[in-house]
């Protein structure tokens, strides 16, 4: 399972998803709700949560795409029962909570940090600067 906003899909996202897919045989992608994306990114997404979900659902490597919960991530994560949660190189906000929930026994998943793919070229904030 992976989490992300996926506002402007770019090669960094594709690498992230491909790396996650190689960790198992079924990839679940949790697409951030608009309010959560705005909170974490300090700016509203360009595309709506429904549009971002639709784009992600149509990627060949994605087996299942879901909208995240509003607010706390844990309820929908528990429903999906992931064996592995893969984090992107820059996803630091979730890591502390995930590791705490695993340690407390609330969540039974291995947490793996994935590698960056040319982050100086492929980062959503760079693409958004060109669009806005």
72-97 pLDDT, tens digit each: 788 899 999 999 999 998 888 778 88
What per-residue confidence (pLDDT) applies to 118? 63
**Tally of domains in the chain:** 1
Question: By residue range, what is the domain housing residue 59?
Answer: 2-131
Going from the C-alpha of 85 to that of each of 17, 103, 132, the distances in angstroms are 12, 14, 32
If DSSP codes are grouped into helix, strand and coil, which group holds residue 68?
coil
What is the CB neighbour count within 10 angstroms for residue 131? 8
Sign of the four-CA dihedral 115, 45, 111, 94:
positive
What per-residue confidence (pLDDT) applies to 73? 81
Which residues, listed in sequence order, are joined to residue 31 by a DSSP beta bridge? 4, 67
What per-residue confidence (pLDDT) applies to 128? 46
Which residues, listed in sequence order, are joined to residue 112 by a DSSP beta bridge? 86
What per-residue confidence (pLDDT) applies to 127? 46
If DSSP codes are grouped into helix, strand and coil, which group holds residue 62?
coil
Q: What angle do CA 41, 47, 52 make, to 5 degrees?
A: 95
What per-residue confidence (pLDDT) applies to 32? 94
Beta-strand pair 110-113/84-87: parallel
Going from the C-alpha of 78 to that of each of 1, 36, 65, 68, 93, the distances in angstroms are 11, 18, 15, 11, 18
CATH number (domain holding residue 67): 3.40.50.620
- Residues in the chain with pLDDT < 70? 118-132
């Amino acid at each position: 399972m992976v989490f992300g906003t996926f506002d402007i899909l770019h090669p960094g996202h594709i690498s992230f998803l491909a790396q996650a897919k190689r960790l198992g045989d079924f990839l679940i992608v949790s697409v951030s709700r608009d309010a959560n994306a705005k909170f974490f990114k300090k700016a509203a997404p360009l595309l709506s949560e429904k549009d971002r979900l639709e784009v992600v659902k149509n990627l060949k490597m994605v087996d299942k795409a879901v909208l995240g919960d509003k607010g706390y991530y844990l309820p929908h994560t528990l429903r999906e029962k992931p064996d592995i949660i893969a984090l992107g190189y820059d996803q630091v906000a979730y890591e502390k909570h995930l590791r705490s929930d695993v340690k407390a026994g609330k969540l039974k998943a291995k947490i793996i940090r994935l590698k960056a793919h040319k982050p100086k070229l492929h980062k959503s904030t760079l693409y958004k600067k060109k669009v806005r």
